[in-house]
Chains A and B, each alone.
Chain A
Amino acid sequence: NAGVTQTPKFRILKIGQSMTLQCTQDMNHNYMYWYRQDPGMGLKLIYYSVGAGITDKGEVPNGYNVSRSTTEDFPLRLELAAPSQTSVYFCASSYSPDRGPYEQYFGPGTRLTVT
């Protein structure tokens, strides 16, 4: 299993440009998440999904959009990039069949710079 994969690894955007960060997992996990991590800080939840076709906002959703048409893929769209979106973006997934404990598996991250 490849686990959670993210592309690209690095990207530089100009202010106002748009891009899509790709995330794919091959573990048949129902839950998927997008986080951003600013230097020296913790992880902030952007959006999450509890299954194909179902998404919801996290703590910092402004300036981003997501979709989940399949179990495996959860792309994150940045519209009109701003310098404040410079960050490392992590995708994660987990399997949560019931109210039991779960762990999140993280992808390697995408380092985005907006100039």
Chain B
Amino acid sequence: QQPVQSPQAVILREGEDAVINCSSSKALYSVHWYRQKHGEAPVFLMILLKGGEQKGHEKISASFNEKKQQSSLYLTASQLSYSGTYFCGTEFSSGSARQLTFGSGTQLTVLP
């Protein structure tokens, strides 16, 4: 079951904040966030684990609500370099071979 991301697209000005959401219909073990610039490969941003542990990017934060099976990515004081498509990848159970199921992405455009 593919996680649902919202919004599908967002446009903001440099310095503004944005929130990207990822929700799942199944219980999650972890949520991973990646950013992909046009024509490039996805690049790792952050992992959030059940139990609250986070590992990732310095200037980007995220939350993981296990009960609601949701994660949110917070981009504060956006920079032009934040433009790209953001994907969440969900890992459903501790018994999996660490497969990720990716959402369809949120396209973020930061304007000067």
Contact = CB atoms under 8 A, between A and B. Distances in A.
B104 A102 contact: no
A89 B89 CA distance: 17
Nearest to A43: B102
Given A42-B87, A45-B99, A90-B42, A102 B47 contact: yes
Interface size class of A (residues with CB under 8 A): 20 to 34
Given A31-B97, A45-B101, 19 more contacts: A41-B104, A42-B104, A42-B105, A43-B89, A43-B102, A48-B97, A59-B101, A94-B98, A101-B30, A101-B47, A103-B44, A104-B32, A104-B34, A104-B42, A104-B100, A106-B41, A106-B42, A106-B43, A108-B40
Contacts of A45: 99-101
The 9 A-B residue pairs with the shortest CB-CB distance, nearest first, are: A106-B41, A42-B102, A103-B44, A101-B47, A43-B102, A42-B104, A106-B42, A101-B55, A42-B105
B103 interface: yes
Interface of A: 31, 40-45, 48, 50, 56, 58-59, 90, 94, 96, 99, 101-109
Contacts of A31: 97-98
Interface string B75-90: 0000000000001010
Given A42-B2, A103-B47, A90 B102 contact: no
Interface of B: 2, 30, 32, 34, 40-44, 47, 49, 53, 55, 87, 89, 94, 97-105
B103 A109 contact: no
A31 B96 CA distance: 13
A75 B18 CA distance: 39
